[in-house]
Amino acid sequence: MGLELVRAVCAGGEASALATILQVQGSSPRHPGAKMLAGVSGHLAGTVGGGRGEAVALEACRRALASGACERVKVEMVGNEVTGAEMVCGGVTTQLIEPLADLEPYRIALGRLEAGERVLLVKRLRGGEAGPVQVEVALLDEDGRALYGRPDPADARPAARALDRDQARLDPDTGVFYDPLLPQEKLLILGAGHVGQALAALAPALGFQVTVVDDRAEFLAEGRLAEGVQAVHAGFERAIAEFPFDSATYVVVVTRGHQSDLQCVRAVLGRRWRYAGFMGSARKARLILDQVAKEGFDPEKVAALCGPIGLDIAAETPRELAVAILGEVIAVRRHAPILAAVNQAREGRRA
Residue ranges of domains in the chain, CATH in brackets: 3-181 (no CATH), 186-350 (3.40.50.720)
Q: What local confidence, expressed as pLDDT, does residue 332 receive?
A: 93
- pLDDT(322) > 50: yes
Per-residue model confidence as pLDDT tens digits over 176-233: 999 999 899 999 999 999 999 999 999 999 999 999 999 999 999 989 998 899 999 9
Q: How large is the angle between the packed helices 282-294 and 338-350, nearest 10 degrees?
A: 90
Distance CA 204, CA 161 (A): 29
- pLDDT(26) > 80: no
**Shortest CA distance to 28 belongs to which of 96, 125, 73, 94?**
94
Distance CA 332, CA 347 (A): 17
**Least confident among 159-168, 174-183, 200-209, 300-309:** 159-168
Residue 320, amino acid: E
Q: What local confidence, expressed as pLDDT, does residue 271 receive?
A: 97
Q: What is the mean pLDDT of residues 274-289?
A: 94
- DSSP calls for 260-322: HHHHHHHHHTTS--SEEEE-S-HHHHHHHHHHHHHTT--HHHHHH-BSS-S--S---SHHHHH
The number of C-alpha atoms within 13 Å of 204 and in the hemisphere containing its C-beta is 14
Distance CA 38, CA 59 (A): 10
Q: How large is the angle between the packed helices 3-11 and 104-114, nearest 10 degrees?
A: 140
How big is the CA angle at 129 (ends 124 and 131), to the nearest 5 degrees?
95
Q: What local confidence, expressed as pLDDT, does residue 84 receive?
A: 46
In this predicted model, which residue has the larger pLDDT, 104 or 116? 104
Q: What is the mean pLDDT of residues 93-108?
A: 94
Alpha helices in 92-176 (DSSP H): 104-114, 156-165
| pLDDT > 70: percent of the chain | 95
Q: What is the mean pLDDT of residues 315-320?
A: 97
Q: What local confidence, expressed as pLDDT, does residue 190 receive?
A: 98
Distance CA 75, CA 57 (A): 9
Q: What local confidence, expressed as pLDDT, does residue 27 receive?
A: 67
- pLDDT(81) > 60: no
Q: What is the mean pLDDT of residues 144-157?
A: 90
| Count of beta carbons in the 10 Å neighbourhood of residue 244 | 12
Q: What local confidence, expressed as pLDDT, does residue 78 receive?
A: 58
Kind of pairing between the strands at 131-140 and 71-77: antiparallel
Q: What local confidence, expressed as pLDDT, does residue 82 receive?
A: 35
Q: Share the mean pLDDT of the chain.
A: 90
Sequence-distant (6+) residues with CB within 8 A of 32 are: 21, 22, 23, 24, 167, 168, 169, 170
Kind of pairing between the strands at 186-190 and 249-253: parallel
Q: Identify whether the C-beta of residue 268 lies closer than 8 Å to the C-beta of residue 253.
A: yes
Q: Determine the length of the chain.
A: 351
Q: What local confidence, expressed as pLDDT, does residue 116 receive?
A: 86
Distance CA 28, CA 316 (A): 33
| pLDDT > 90: percent of the chain | 69
Residues 258-297, buried b or exposed e (16+ Cβ, 10 A)?
eebbbbbbbbbbebebbbbbbbbeeebbbebbeebeeeeb
Q: What is the mean pLDDT of residues 309-329?
A: 96
Give every strand in the sheet of 186-190, ordered side by side: 230-233, 209-214, 186-190, 249-253, 275-278
Sequence-distant (6+) residues with CB within 8 A of 213 are: 188, 189, 190, 191, 192, 232, 234, 236, 239, 240
Cis omega before residue 153 (within 30°)? no
- 338's enclosing H/E stretch is helix 338-350
